[in-house]
Structure formats: structure tokens, C-alpha cells
Amino acid sequence: MSASISRWAQLSKTLLFRYGLAILVTAVALLLREILDPYLGNYTPFITMFPTVALLAAYVGLGPSALSVLLGLFGVTYWFIQPRHSFVFWHRPSVLIATVVYLIFGAVMVLGGEWSRRSRLKLRRTRVLFETFLDNSPGAEYLKDESGTYVYANKTNKTRFTSDFIGKTDFDIFPQAIAQQFRDNDLAVLRDNRPREFTETTDESDGVHTWLTVKFPVIDADGKKLIGGKSIDITEKQRAEDALRTASAQFRRFLETAPVGLVRFNRDMLYLDANPAYAEMVGLPLEQVIGRPLQEVIGAEAWQKISPHIDRVLRGERVEYEAILPYPFGSRHVHVVWTPDLDGSNHIVGWIASVMDVTEAKRAEEHLHKVEKLAAAGQLAASLAHEINNPLSSVINALYLLKRHSAMDEHATYLVNTAGSELERVARIVKQSLSYYREGSTQQPVDLAMLMEDSLQVFSEKIRHAGIEITKKLTPGTSILGFADELRQVIDNLLLNAIEATPDGGRLIVCVRSSLDWANLTQLGVRLTIADTGVGIPRESMARVFEPFFTTKPEKGTGLGLWVVRGILAKHGGKIRIRSSWHKPKSGTIISILWPSQASTSQGDALSRSETAN
Ligand code: ADP
Ligand code: MG
């Protein structure tokens, strides 16, 4: 059907067809006049030609209709004008007038028809152009009247929603809520009488779509007010924007939560960006870092250390270094990686730094190193002590026998005594070293309060002699799991140190009770405290008191007491803390040990902390 129509349309355009049609129609008109001839006679010879020419002029065009006028002229003159069968039409005025009128009418028809045909065609072309233009627009374009009834909707509307918009309102097409939203916006445009922009939504099979809509008042040819609208589906764009926003927020969070300092510098060594971890490292709020020169933020001293690397990274090298940087707010040991920052065309526009604060790690590493060294030393000391112990006993025994020997003069006796006291000193050292490293035997509940009582009993004579007043705060039955003789050695060493440090008339407070860990208040444990009003520990000694052989008592000290204490506490999971003041008359030392309740014993180093108060 459509094929035959288009063939017809094709055919109707050919010259031959159009002229043929004109000839045919003219012939029919002449035939009709011939049929009517018995009724009309010589009157109105052109009568059938008027509508014929008018029709041809209107629909077939200038040439064919002009041809029809001429054919009509000749045909009518020949067949219907007296004298018939001749081409004479001027011998009677009435016939001449009729002929001239016919020709004038013909000319007017032909020209007028052509003119109207052309403007009709032009109008159609314009309409088609506009319709294809609007139908090809990817947006939805539409016109509604004041009541909201569609007078135009383009293809996008029709393919996306329904094929018939015209004559309907949004309420006929869309769900109530969505139609209401459209209508509200339409009314806003009518009220304001100016173009307005809206974000509108529709609910489609693949979910909610967002449209960016412009609506504007339109006055049509009749002066009627309409609402014009143009909506573009921005769902994809918006989804992409949302995704981008989420991605960049996630990325931001990465930067913000990274425990590594991340920084971007430009070629002028200004901070372009930095994350909170970095700001914390340099001890400044982020706002005081970004935009400022590197040198200003890290200080002159740190700048000196890192500036040689800047040339390298700006030359395109990846630079990695470790340094102790004296930042203005405290020195940090950092591991740094610098990578050149490139722009789109691979020019170096600055560099990106990742700065890892390894201060704690380094400290822990050093500590571990020290502990390992100490453990090795302890092991060696213990085995040496063990080896020395037997010959030592023999020598002491021999000296004892020698002293009783009658044949010794005064000088010999003096020498033997000196040798004896020196050897006793050696014996003390050996005894303490031996206990540091002892394996085997299982741990048992040890009543610390009882242990303390025993120790005080042993030292009672010494304490009385030194004129020291004792205060005891012992909760009976406060026990931990451990080795009694080693814990006894801890108490003995601490008590002895306190007694030796305290002058005549001083005070000693000992305390054993259940307690919370001060550093972690959810941790229960047992606390032992020994406080004295002795000379105190100067700041410079404080750092060294746990070192083996560190002593301030050259006469009677071994410098092994606290070292042994620490070793034993490590085995028992105890934490020791020393606080001391060495300013007279308020000098004194408080040593406190905490055994956490479920402390895993026999592993790790005693967490020791010490501080000096002035
Ligand atoms: P020693 O007692 O043999 O000197 P320690 O390891 O027991 O060795 O102690 C090391 C040093 O710590 C002591 O020489 C002393 O200077 C200091 N010290 C320890 N305890 C106290 C205390 N309660 N008061 C003052 N100084 C102390
Ligand atoms: Mg001691």
C-alpha cells in the first residue's frame, strides 16, 4: 500500500504525467461541454473550463494549467463557438468578451494557483523541517495550553512515554505525583510569565530519571497563551557525577585516614595538599600547612637536611631516604619517599611525598636490641657465675682456715682480711647473677604480703640501726603466680636500695594491695610499692639505674640489683615504675610494681618506666 502510494507520488512529479493529466482533464472538460451542448447551445461556451483550469492551477502547476487554458481556448472556439469548426471568435462582441474574460480568468487562476501552490509547499517544507528538527532533538520538547493540555509533543516524548500526547494532560499520562510536579512547574511559569528552570523526575521501567527542564511562556498566532517546555534527561550525567563524587570522597577518606603523611608540592616548594597524618607529624593544623613554603613549615634545620634531595626529585628521580628531622614541634625519625609529580604532558610540576613516622618503630627496635643484648649478657653472667661459684667457695673456705692459722703476723692477718672482704663482694655479685637466668620449675601462687613481711624481718636489725621508721600497708593474701625465691629477691633488692639511700631518721613506706593499672584503668592487678625519704635519684642517673654494674655505691654496691629486678619482672609480667625527687629536704624515691591479673608470665621484657620529679 505505502509502496503504491509512493510510486504514485513519484509518478505525479514527472513532467509527462502532469502535462498528460492536464490534456486529459481538459479533454474531459470539453467532453462535458459537449454533453451539455444540447442544453446550453451557444451560451457559456467556456463553462466547464473554469473549474478545470482552477483545479489544475491549484494542484498540477503553472505549465500544465497554462497548457489547459490554451487547449481550452482552441477546443471551445473550434467546437462550441459560432461559426463552429473554425477558430474564429471575434466576429461577435459577446463572444469576444467571453473569450477575453476566459483568458483573464485563466491567467489569474494559473498565476494565483502557482503562487498558492508555492506558498503551500514552502509552508509544508517549513513544517516538516521543524518537525524533523524537534523529533531529532534528544530532549523532550512539548507545548501545552494554559489548562495543561498538550498541543505538541516531539518524538522523545512519544517513544519514552505514550504515543498520544495531543489533547491530553499530564494527569492522563503520568502517575499523580509526577503529573502534579509538572503541573506545579507549569503554573509557576504562567504565574511568573518568564522562562524558568526546574529539575523534574519521571519513574520509568529502569528506575527514576532526572530531567533538567526549561519551561517558558509562548503566545501562539491567535494570541493564545501556551507553555513551551524542553527537558533533557540528565540521569546518566547525574549518576556519573554522583559516582565521581563518591569516588573522590572515598579517595579523600583514604588520604585522611592513612597513617602515612602524604603531601604534594609544586616546583616553588609550596604545599599544595597534605593529609592530617602529615599535619600531625609537623605539629601544625592543616590550614597552616597548605599554601605555605616547605622551608617555613619544617624549619631551617630540617630544611638543611632534605634540601639536597629536592634537585633530584625535580629532575625526575624517585628519592627515598630516612632521616631524623628536627621539626619545630619535636624531632621525628621519618622514612620518606619522594616521587616526581607530572602534569598531562609529562612535565614535572612538583613532587609527591609519602612520609612515614618510624620514630616509635625505631625506638622499639633499639629497645629490643638492648633487651636481646641484656638477655645474652644475663645468660653469660649466669653461666660464669655458676662456674665461679664452686672455686669461690673453696677459696673463701681456705681463707677462713688460713685466718685461724696461728703463725700469721699482723700484716698477714690484714691481707687475709682484705682478701676475705673482697671475695665476699665477688660472692655477692655471683649470687645475684645466678638468679637472673634460671630455668625449670613451675610457677606457684606467691603471697607478696607475706614475702614482704619476711624480708622486713630479715632487714629489721639493719632498719633499726639506720633509725628508719617503717609504715606497712600490707593486704594479707595478695598473691600472684610466680617463683617465690625470685620475687623475694626483687623485694630484697628494692628494700636494700631504699634502706641504703635513706639517712638516719628517714621514713619507709611499703605497700602491697590489689590495684588498677594506672596506664589502663580496666586492667586489674597487684601492686607493690616501696617509698623512701632517701637521697633520691638524680635525673642523669635515672636513665641508667637498670643497667648492669651501674652503681653510685662503689664500696658496697654491685650495680646488679635493679638489673636483676628487671630481669625477674620480665619473667613475671610485672611493670616497674620509678619516681624520684632528689631535691632536699623533699627528696625520696617511690618504686611501684604492677602485676596485671592475667599477665602472661615468663615472656617479654619488664615494662619499666622511670621519671625524676624536681
Ligand atoms: P646497687 O644498689 O648495687 O648500687 P642497684 O642496681 O640496686 O645497684 O641500684 C643502682 C643504683 O640506683 C644505685 O647505685 C643507686 O644510685 C640508685 N638507686 C636505686 N634505688 C634507689 C633508692 N631507693 N634511692 C636512691 N637511689 C637508688
Ligand atoms: Mg642495690
**pLDDT tens, position by position, 318-357:** 999 999 988 777 888 999 999 999 999 999 999 999 999 8
Cβ within 8 Å of residue 51, ≥6 positions away? 29
CA atoms of 525 and 482, how far apart (whole Å): 14
**Per-residue cell: 176:** 499523580
Cis peptide before 38 (omega within 30 of 0): no
Separation of CA 611 and ligand 1 centre (Å) = 14
- Give the atom of ligand 1 at the shortest distance from the alpha carbon of 582: 25
The CATH architecture assigned to 362-434 reads: Orthogonal Bundle (1.10)
Q: For residues 353 and 427, which has the higher predicted lDDT (pLDDT)?
A: 353
Does CATH number 3.30.565.10 belong to domain 444-613?
A: yes
What superfamily would CATH give domain 258-353?
Answer: PAS domain (3.30.450.20)
pTM of the model: 0.43
Neighbours of ion ligand 2 (CB under 5 A): 497, 561
Q: For residues 11 and 58, which has the higher predicted lDDT (pLDDT)?
A: 58
Question: What pLDDT is recorded for position 5?
Answer: 64
Start and end residues for every CATH 3.30.565.10 domain found in the chain: 444-613
Q: Is 277 in the pocket of ligand 1 (CB under 6 A)?
A: no
Cβ within 8 Å of residue 297, ≥6 positions away? 271, 282, 284, 288, 289
Please list the alpha-helical segments (H only) found in 137-270.
Answer: 155-160, 170-173, 176-192, 235-257
Give the lowest-confidence range in 178-182, 199-203, 363-367: 363-367
- Give the atom of ligand 1 at the shortest distance from the alpha carbon of 564: 6
Residue whose C-alpha is closest to residue 228's, from 201, 196, 199: 196
3-class secondary structure, 418: helix
What is the mean pLDDT of the segment spanning 131-160?
93
**Whole-angstrom Cα Rg for the chain:** 57
Question: What pLDDT is recorded for position 26?
Answer: 96
Choice from 497, 541, 546, 592 to test ligand 1 binding pocket (greatest atom count within 8 A of CB): 497
Cβ within 8 Å of residue 212, ≥6 positions away? 197, 198, 199, 231, 232, 234
pLDDT surpassing 80 at residue 314:
yes
Question: What pLDDT is recorded for position 43?
Answer: 87
Q: Say how many C-beta atoms besides its own lie within 10 A of residue 181's C-beta.
A: 17
CATH fold for the domain made of 138-239: Beta-Lactamase (3.30.450)
Q: 349-407 pLDDT, tens per residue?
A: 999 999 998 988 888 888 777 766 666 676 677 778 778 888 888 898 888 888 887 78
Q: 210-221 pLDDT, tens per residue?
A: 999 999 999 988
Sequence letter at residue 482 = G
Separation of CA 493 and ligand 1 centre (Å) = 9
Separation of CA 432 and ligand 2 centre (Å) = 10
Start and end residues for every CATH 3.30.450.20 domain found in the chain: 138-239, 258-353
Name beta bridge partners: 213. 198, 231
**Per-residue cell: 272:** 599544595
DSSP class of 254: H
Task: Kindly indicate the confidence band of residue 477, based on its pLDDT and cuts at 50, 70 and 90.
Answer: confident
Start and end residues for every CATH 1.10.287 domain found in the chain: 362-434
pLDDT surpassing 80 at residue 562:
yes
Q: Is 534 in the pocket of ligand 1 (CB under 6 A)?
A: yes
- Give the atom of ligand 1 at the shortest distance from the alpha carbon of 550: 10
The residue assigned the cell 629536704 is 585
pLDDT surpassing 70 at residue 607:
no
